[in-house]
């Protein structure tokens, strides 16, 4: 039985597991977010979003503290792995104290006393998440995509189910805490049992010094990347009511979950591949071109499709009280399109050891929306979306120019990689918009089915024609 299943399932390093992980993660994240928010209502969902933002702002960079440096390093030894783990856990324990002290201040600024206890509970998850993040990075370095997919396929349904049970039991915003706790502990246990790595009790300063030139700028970049949305939500929460925060959060998360399909698949494939080619610039450029095509193939139809169907999608998933999230979701989706056209630039800078570039671009993307927020002071979710998209639009030209210069390739070279996804997406958009005009006023489920079905059929048919019936080049590699 076991042998038969191994023959049926893809190999551990197959890109199919990357697709399974990213698609399942997006699906479960979307279901968990939308259904729990719908059960507990806009106000409670807004409070839960603020608590989660405070936790995740700290959690993500700590969990990724040395992960990318371990991935990029050519000669990796056990002293690097074990030392990185214990330093990461130590930083997480310090962060538990820091977040605990900050919790009352955040609750007072927002005007929601319940946030203090919620953030205190979430802070206790930091050491477990930190260990999981480092183990996941080692699995990615070894291209154990099956193990990484199991985190989602096993742990996500469990955490979403427990969160929904808490919501139906009347726990209000605490349902979102339950979901996060179940996900964190589940992933930690799974990786601890299946990773096959047992760290040694050692702390080598020289090993940390070897990793820090890459880890330092990269972790600051990740801190800004993860924190820019969380801090944006926290600042927005001081300007508007909790219901507006909740609607904004739902609108942004609709796109964020969709973008995670693209960024997750792209990063999983790009970081180990580009890092392995860091001393062969021609081969790296070819690999980057293939990955840029794949990123556009996945991202463009998602962004365009979400922009076209945003009103029906929000109505179907969330109901009447959340209809205000449709227009902000559409704005953010349209603004994401340029980012899907420039390839996996962050993975390129990591592979080249120039992680300061990631820090610079993320600082720009962080500063522009906050400055816009403070200048415009929006009163609704649509205004918040206008502020937010400025960061994305400011970074894309910089990434494009510097990335092509690093690869020593002209703009026309990148355009040639993108012909297939752009043409296929334009054909899909034309058909979807035509169908959308004919289904106005129809029930949301019927409208989405017709728009999505006709658009997807057109897109797949165009890809089959343009690619000659073959898989994209990035998915043909072993």
pLDDT score recorded for residue 435:
93
User: What sign for the dihedral angle of Cα 25, 27, 33, 35?
Assistant: negative
Sort 145 into a burial class: Cβ within 10 Å, 0-12 / 13-18 / 19+.
buried
What CA–CA distance (Å, rounded) separates 229 from 72? 27
Separation in Å, CA 465 to CA 196, 452, 472: 44, 20, 12
Higher pLDDT, 97 or 22: 97
What CA–CA distance (Å, rounded) separates 391 from 398? 12
Question: Contact at 8 Å (CB) between 452 and 429?
Answer: no
- Please tell me the number of Cα atoms within 13 Å of 367 on its side-chain side: 9
Higher pLDDT, 456 or 444: 456
Mean pLDDT computed over every residue of the chain? 84
Q: What is the pLDDT of residues 319-373, one digit of tens each?
A: 666 677 778 888 888 888 998 999 999 889 888 888 888 888 888 988 898 888 8
- Please tell me the number of Cα atoms within 13 Å of 201 on its side-chain side: 0
Question: Contact at 8 Å (CB) between 458 and 428?
Answer: yes
Q: Has residue 3 got a pLDDT over 80?
A: no
Q: How confident is the model at residue 255 (pLDDT cuts 50, 70, 90)?
A: low
Contacts of 216 by beta carbon, 8 Å cutoff, 6+ apart: 355
The residue ranges of every structural domain in the chain are: 9-230, 239-416
What CA–CA distance (Å, rounded) separates 187 from 190? 5
Sort 74 into a burial class: Cβ within 10 Å, 0-12 / 13-18 / 19+.
exposed
Q: Of 155, 157, 96, whose CA–CA distance to 122 is shortest? A: 96
pLDDT score recorded for residue 122:
94
Q: What is the pLDDT of residues 94-151, one digit of tens each?
A: 999 999 999 999 888 888 888 999 999 999 999 999 999 999 988 888 888 888 888 8
What CA–CA distance (Å, rounded) separates 223 from 365? 12
Q: What is the pLDDT of residues 376-405, one digit of tens each?
A: 888 777 788 888 888 888 999 999 999 999
Total-model pTM:
0.71
pLDDT score recorded for residue 5:
46
pLDDT score recorded for residue 328:
82
Q: Has residue 68 got a pLDDT over 70?
A: yes
| Torsion of the alpha carbons at 427, 432, 435 and 441, rounded to the nearest 10 | -160
Angle at 51 between CA 325 and CA 134, to 5 degrees: 105
Separation in Å, CA 339 to CA 294, 358, 398: 13, 14, 11
Q: Has residue 253 got a pLDDT over 70?
A: no
pLDDT score recorded for residue 243:
67
Highest mean pLDDT among 9-23, 216-230, 236-250, 326-340: 326-340
Question: Contact at 8 Å (CB) between 369 and 390?
Answer: yes
Q: Has residue 242 got a pLDDT over 70?
A: no
Q: Of 136, 148, 138, 182, whose CA–CA distance to 163 is shortest? A: 182
pLDDT score recorded for residue 386:
83
Which range (35-39, 346-350, 407-411) has the least confidence? 35-39
What CA–CA distance (Å, rounded) separates 18 from 295? 13
Q: Of 104, 121, 223, whose CA–CA distance to 171 is shortest? A: 121
Separation in Å, CA 251 to CA 7, 68, 172: 42, 30, 20
pLDDT score recorded for residue 448:
87
Which range (76-85, 94-103, 231-240) has the least confidence? 231-240
Share of the chain above pLDDT 70, in %: 89
Please name the residue ranges forming H helices in 111-204: 114-123, 126-141, 145-150, 156-168, 174-194
Q: What is the pLDDT of residues 262-313, one digit of tens each?
A: 777 777 788 888 888 888 889 999 999 999 999 999 889 988 998 898 888 7
Q: Has residue 4 got a pLDDT over 60?
A: no
Separation in Å, CA 463 to CA 2, 51, 301, 309: 36, 43, 12, 22
Separation in Å, CA 126 to CA 22, 82, 131, 175, 432: 23, 18, 9, 18, 44
Per-residue pLDDT, averaged over 87-94, amounts to 94
What CA–CA distance (Å, rounded) separates 452 from 442? 14
Q: What is the pLDDT of residues 156-188, one digit of tens each?
A: 888 888 988 998 888 888 988 998 899 999 999
What CA–CA distance (Å, rounded) separates 392 from 362? 10
Q: Has residue 478 got a pLDDT over 60?
A: no
Angle at 258 between CA 456 and CA 26, to 5 degrees: 105
Higher pLDDT, 430 or 25: 430
Q: How confident is the model at residue 463 (pLDDT cuts 50, 70, 90)?
A: very high
Q: What is the DSSP string of 251-309?
A: HHHHHHHHHHHHHHHHHHHHHHHHHHTTT-HHHHHHHHHHHHHHHHHHHHHHHHHHHHH
Q: What is the DSSP string of 17-47?
A: HHHHHHHHHHHHHHHHHHHHHHHH-HHHHHH
């Amino acid at each position: 039985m076991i042998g038969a299943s191994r023959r049926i399932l893809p190999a551990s390093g197959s890109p199919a597991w990357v697709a399974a992980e990213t698609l399942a993660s997006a699906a479960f994240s979307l279901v968990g977010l939308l259904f729990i928010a719908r059960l507990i209502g806009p106000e409670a969902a807004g409070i839960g979003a603020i608590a989660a933002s405070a936790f995740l702002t700290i959690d993500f960079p700590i969990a990724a503290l040395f992960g990318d440096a371990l991935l990029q390093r050519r000669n990796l030894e056990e002293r690097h792995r074990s030392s990185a783990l214990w330093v990461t856990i130590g930083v997480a324990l310090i962060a538990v104290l820091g977040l605990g002290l900050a919790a009352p201040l955040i609750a007072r600024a927002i005007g929601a006393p319940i946030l203090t206890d919620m953030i205190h509970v979430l802070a206790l998850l930091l050491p477990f998440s930190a260990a999981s993040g480092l183990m996941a990075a080692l699995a990615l370095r070894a291209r154990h995509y099956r193990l990484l997919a199991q985190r989602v396929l096993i742990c996500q349904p469990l955490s979403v189910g427990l969160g929904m049970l808490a919501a139906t039991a009347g726990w209000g915003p605490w349902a979102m805490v339950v979901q996060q706790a179940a996900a964190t502990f589940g992933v930690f246990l799974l990786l601890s049992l299946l990773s096959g790595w047992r760290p040694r009790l050692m702390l080598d300063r020289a090993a940390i010094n070897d990793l820090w030139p890459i880890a330092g700028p990269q972790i600051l970049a990740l801190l800004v990347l993860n924190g820019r949305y969380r801090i944006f939500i926290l600042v927005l929460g001081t300007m508007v009511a909790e219901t507006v925060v909740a609607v904004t959060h739902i609108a942004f998360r609709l796109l964020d979950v969709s973008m995670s399909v693209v960024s997750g698949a792209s990063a999983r494939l790009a970081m180990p591949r580009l890092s392995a080619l860091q001393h062969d610039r021609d081969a790296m450029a070819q690999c980057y071109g293939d990955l840029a095509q794949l990123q556009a193939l996945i991202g463009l139809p998602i962004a365009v499709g979400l922009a076209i169907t945003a009103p029906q999608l929000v109505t179907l998933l969330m109901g009447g009280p959340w209809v205000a999230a449709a227009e902000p979701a559409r704005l953010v989706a349209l603004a994401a399109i340029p980012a899907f056209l420039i390839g996996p630039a962050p993975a390129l800078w990591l592979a080249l050891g120039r992680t300061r570039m990631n820090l610079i671009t993320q600082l720009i993307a962080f500063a522009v929306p906050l400055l816009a927020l403070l200048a415009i002071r929006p009163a609704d979710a649509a205004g918040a979306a206008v502020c937010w998209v400025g960061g994305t639009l400011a970074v894309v030209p910089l990434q494009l120019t510097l990335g092509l210069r690093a690869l020593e390739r002209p703009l026309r070279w990148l355009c040639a990689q993108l012909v297939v996804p752009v043409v296929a997406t334009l054909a899909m958009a034309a058909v979807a918009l035509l169908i959308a005009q004919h289904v106005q006023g129809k029930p949301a489920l019927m409208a989405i089915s017709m728009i999505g079905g006709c658009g997807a059929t057109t897109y797949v048919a165009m890809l089959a024609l343009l690619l000659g019936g073959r898989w994209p080049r990035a998915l043909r590699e072993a």
